[in-house]
Structure 1
Amino acid sequence: MQLFIITGTTRGLGFSLAEEALKAGHFVISLSRESAFKMPSFINIKHDLTKIKGLDKKFLTALKKIDMKKVKAIHLINNAAIIGPIESAEHFSLEQIDTHMQVNVVAPMYLTSLVLKTFKKKKCFQTFTNISSGAAVRTIPAWSLYCSGKAGLRMFTDCLADDYKKTNNLRFLDFSPGVMDTNMQATIRKQKSKTFSRLDDFKQLKEKNLLLSADKVAMALLEVLKDPKAIDKTHYDIKDLL
C-alpha cells in the first residue's frame, strides 16, 4: 500500500488523482473543503488552506488511523490552487494578495515541511509533487499573482531537489499538467475582455476541444509516481507523457 496526501480533491485534477489512487488500492489523505469519497481508505481533513494554524494537529490525528507499517511509499501532491484575482496589480487588495499566496505558495511549502519532518525516519520512498503551470515560466496578462506564485513554487521545488540530492529516498517534482477542462478554466472564461486581453484564446481552447481531461492527466502523473526509484529529474510536463 502507498499513501497519497493530496490537496484540493473536491473536483478537477485533485479529484481524479484521489480517485485513481483509491482504485489502485492505495490510501488517500485529502485536504479539501469537502469530502469527495466515502470509503475506509480515504480520510478528508477539512481545513481552510488560507489559514495554516492547526493543520499539523489534524494531519497527525489522521495518520493515527493508518497502519504506517504497511505503507511502502508516501506521496504528497500539492494540487490546490486559486487563479484570481485576474486583473492589473493596481487593483489588488492586501486580503486578495494574502489569500492567493497562502493557498498557492505558503500551504504547499508548509505541507512539504510537515511531511518531511513527520516521516524523516521512515526509509521508504517519498515523493513531493507541486502542480505547476506554464504560467510559472512565462508572463500572462493580468495573471501577475498566479504567475508569481507558480514561479515561486517551481523554484522551491528546484531548491529542495538540490538540498536533498544526497537523500536517496526523496524525490521532488514540478509537474506541469497542461491546460485542463476544469472549474479553473471555466472561471477564466468568465472574465471580461477589458480586464483579461487573452480571453478569446482561452474560449477557443474549449470551443476547439483542446482541453485535456483531468482523468488523463491524473493517470499520467500517477504512472510517474508508481516507481519513485525511476524518477530521475525534477521537471515533468504532460506533453512529454502523453
Structure 2
Amino acid sequence: MITEIMEEVLVTTGGSKGIGKGIIAAYLANGTSIFSIARTVNTELTESGVTQITLDLTQTNLIEATLINIFSLLDKAKLRKITLINNAGTLGTIAPLDRLNQDIIEKTILLNTTVPFILSSLFIHYFKDWTIEKSIINITSGAALKPYFGWSVYCSSKAAINMLTQTIAAEQADAKYAVKALAIAPGVVDTDMQTEIRQSNKSNFKDIERFIALKEDGALNDAVTVGKKIFEMDNDKSLPSGSILRIEGN
C-alpha cells in the first residue's frame, strides 16, 4: 500500500531578505511549501518555487484577505503541519524616546507588534478545528529582555512579542487542537539591520562600539545558520509551548 506524502506548509513574513531569507532556505531544504509575505519580491526565491505575496504589512486592513487567500489554497486532507513565522520587523529610528516623532513610534510598533498579533489571531481562528500540527514562531530579540539606550520602541515592541507568545500558549493549553507558540531570538545576525546599527550616531546609541566589534571579530550569526536552527526548534517536540528561546552565537 502506498501512503500519500502529507504536506508541510510555512507562511512567513519578511522572507525576501535577511533572517527571513535564511528561514526560507532551511524550510525549502526540508521540502516545505512556502508562502512569503513581504514588501519586496526576491527573484531567487521565485525560481525556488516560493509563492511570494507583495504586501506592506502596515496596511493592516489588507492582512485578513491576504491570509485567507493563502489558506484557501491548502488541501485539508493532505496537510500534516503548518507554521506561521512572524519575522518581519524594523528597528525604527535609533534615538532616545524624546527625539522620536509620533509617526516613527506608531509605524515601528505597528509592524513589530500589532501585525504579529493580527496574523496570530487569524491563524489560530482559521485552523482551530484542523487536526494537524500547528505552530506560531515569533522572532523576538535579546533586546526584549535588556534595555538599550536609543532602542526604547524596539525593546518594548519585542517584549510584547514575548508576552504574546506566552499568552497564546496559556490560551491554547486546553484547546482541542492546540497551536504551539515559540519566541526565538536569533542573536546578532549579519543583516542590513546590523549595518544600520553600526552607522548610528553614538549620541543616539551608546552601545554602538560593541556592535562594531562583533562585526570586526566575526562574531555575528549567519542568516542561513539561524534559519536552520529555527527549523530545528520548530520541529523539536521537547520544547514546551510558550518557550522564549535564543540562538547562541557561532
TM-score bucket (shorter structure): over 0.9
Q: Which moved more, 1:87-96 or 1:40-49?
A: 40-49
State the match for 1:6 in structure 2: 12
Q: Cα deviations across residues 182-212 of structure 1 (Å, max 9, x unaligned)?
A: 1110010011112211111110000000001
- 1:223 partnered with 2:232: yes
In 2, the alpha carbon distance for the partners of 1:41 and 1:68 equals 21
Q: Cα deviations across residues 32-81 of structure 1 (Å, max 9, x unaligned)?
A: 01223115842222111112102211222233334343221110111111
Q: Once the two structures are aligned, what percentage of the paired residues are identical?
A: 28
What is the Cα deviation at residue 157 of structure 1?
0.9
- 1:70 partnered with 2:78: yes
In 2, the alpha carbon distance for the partners of 1:41 and 1:123 equals 27
- 1:164 partnered with 2:162: no
State the match for 1:43 in structure 2: 51
Structure 1 unaligned spans of 5+: none
Corresponding residue to 1:25 among 31, 51, 54: 31
Residues 64-143 of structure 1: matches in 2 within 5 Å?
A: 64-143=72-151
Q: Is the 8 A contact 2:128 2:178 kept in 1?
A: no
Other structure's SS at 1:130 match: strand
In 2, the alpha carbon distance for the partners of 1:236 and 1:93 equals 32
Q: Is the 8 A contact 1:171 1:231 kept in 2?
A: no
Runs of 4+ more than 6 Å apart? none
In 2, the alpha carbon distance for the partners of 1:94 and 1:116 equals 32
Q: Cα deviations across residues 108-163 of structure 1 (Å, max 9, x unaligned)?
A: 00000011111111111111111111100111111000000001111111111111
In 2, the alpha carbon distance for the partners of 1:120 and 1:169 equals 7
Structure 2 unaligned spans of 5+: 1-6
Number of aligned pairs? 240
CA RMSD of aligned residues (A): 1.7
Q: Is the 8 A contact 2:26 2:227 kept in 1?
A: yes
